[in-house]
Amino acid sequence: MSDAVIIDSARRRSLVLAAGLLSLLFGLTALLAARIRVVDVASVQTADVRQDLPGKVGEWSGERMFFCQQDQCARSFPESELNGSRICPKCGGRLDQVSLGEHNLLPADTMISRRMYQNKKGDAIAVAIVLSGSDRRSIHRPQQCLPAQGYSVESSSVMTAPLEGRQPLRLTMIKARRGEDKANQGSPRLLLAYWFLGGGHETHDHIMRAVYMAWDSLIHGVRPRWAYVSLQTTSGANEQVAKDLLSEFIRQLYPVLKNSDSDHQ
């Protein structure tokens, strides 16, 4: 057999194999497209966390925060300073528990619960739960919005917080400074720790959350409601003290965050 015949035979086999692979890919694409159409009507509205943060977490007391809806003001106030009023004491604008920026950027069915917690020593930790709606834009990485708030992200790493009766919780830890403080290395840093949970999954990683969501949609035909839980505090000269404070607070917060049947919507 000549070399030319051998080459032609190999080419034919390659073409047949390529055609078979293309047919398989087209078939899988069609199946997935049909599956996605089914998923659209199989959304799960329950969440793995409660929809409102508790007023007490151990020795920490938390109060709701309210935000002015006037774009020229945009101040925030703890509930204790408002005496029941929902009018901005600075400009007379309407107050809401969701900031104006969040109102403008997030889908209407996004649910947000936020409290500022303090202990008797005066330490403060801001906690927020963002529950996704039908639109997946409800939840995104904070690295995307911190620069818009005037922060410069310095680093991102993984933090572990010990929990009772299970493996430690893994969170993403972000260190950031406001733009005007960037040159002043002695200024307090913002420490922001967060993780995602939904459909029985937990992850600190945004990509893994997308993988879990795709798996649940395509394989199980459901779209669980996901939650983004974040904690913020500031660090002084001893950053480890602030990290230990966050870790201890998470240990107390985690058990009361978990949903129960009565909390499901």
Asked if the model's pLDDT at residue 74 lies above 70, the reply is yes
Lowest-confidence segment of 30-39, 164-173, 237-246 by average pLDDT: 30-39
144, 171: one domain: yes
Query: Tens digit of pLDDT for each residue in 194-230?
Result: 999 998 999 999 899 989 988 888 888 888 889 999 9
30, 159: one domain: no
- What would the mean pLDDT of 222-249 be, rounded to a whole number? 90
Contacts of 67 (CB under 8 A, 6+ apart): 74, 75, 76, 77, 95, 96, 97, 98, 99, 100
Q: Is the dihedral of CA 209, 212, 217, 222 positive or negative?
A: negative
Residues in the chain, total: 265
User: How high is the pLDDT of residue 196?
Assistant: 94
Count CA within 13 A, CB hemisphere, residue 87: 4
Lowest-confidence segment of 12-16, 28-32, 87-91, 196-200 by average pLDDT: 28-32
Q: Between β-strands 124-131 and 169-178, what pairing exists: parallel, antiparallel or unpaired?
A: unpaired
Asked if residue 103 is part of any domain, the answer here is no
Asked if the model's pLDDT at residue 73 lies above 70, the reply is yes
Asked if residue 74 is part of any domain, the answer here is no
User: How high is the pLDDT of residue 245?
Assistant: 94
Q: Between β-strands 189-198 and 169-178, what pairing exists: parallel, antiparallel or unpaired?
A: antiparallel
Cβ–Cβ under 8 Å, residues 171 and 161: yes
How far is 191 from 186, CA to CA, in rounded Å? 15
Three-class DSSP category at 65: strand
CA of 25: how far to CAs of 125, 139, 216, 235, in Å?
Answer: 50, 31, 21, 52
Asked if residue 48 is part of any domain, the answer here is yes
209, 116: one domain: yes
- What would the mean pLDDT of 155-173 be, rounded to a whole number? 93
Asked if residue 140 is part of any domain, the answer here is yes
Domain that holds residue 35: 1-41
- What would the mean pLDDT of 7-17 be, rounded to a whole number? 55
Three-class DSSP category at 233: strand
> Per the structure block, which two tokens stand in for 150?
């005037």
181, 170: one domain: yes
Within a 10 A sphere around the Cβ of 219, how many other Cβ atoms? 9
Lowest-confidence segment of 76-80, 132-136, 248-252 by average pLDDT: 132-136
36, 49: one domain: no
Asked if residue 92 is part of any domain, the answer here is no
Asked if the model's pLDDT at residue 23 lies above 70, the reply is no
Asked if residue 221 is part of any domain, the answer here is yes
130, 259: one domain: yes
User: How high is the pLDDT of residue 258?
Assistant: 77
10, 53: one domain: no
User: How high is the pLDDT of residue 101?
Assistant: 75
Beta strands in 27-182 (DSSP E): 43-47, 56-57, 60-68, 76-78, 95-96, 111-118, 124-131, 151-161, 169-178
How far is 66 from 55, CA to CA, in rounded Å? 15
User: How high is the pLDDT of residue 50?
Assistant: 87
Side chain identity at residue 106, one-letter code: L
Could you tell me which of 85, 98, 196 has the C-alpha nearest to residue 139?
A: 196
User: How high is the pLDDT of residue 184?
Assistant: 55
User: How high is the pLDDT of residue 98?
Assistant: 84
253, 151: one domain: yes
Side chain identity at residue 37, one-letter code: R
User: How high is the pLDDT of residue 230?
Assistant: 94
Asked if the model's pLDDT at residue 3 lies above 70, the reply is no
Asked if residue 84 is part of any domain, the answer here is no
Asked if the model's pLDDT at residue 158 lies above 60, the reply is yes
Mean pLDDT of the chain: 80
259, 177: one domain: yes
Domain count, the chain: 2
End-to-end alpha carbon distance in the chain: 73
117, 230: one domain: yes
22, 137: one domain: no
Side chain identity at residue 150, one-letter code: G
Asked if the model's pLDDT at residue 103 lies above 70, the reply is yes
Asked if residue 154 is part of any domain, the answer here is yes
122, 209: one domain: yes
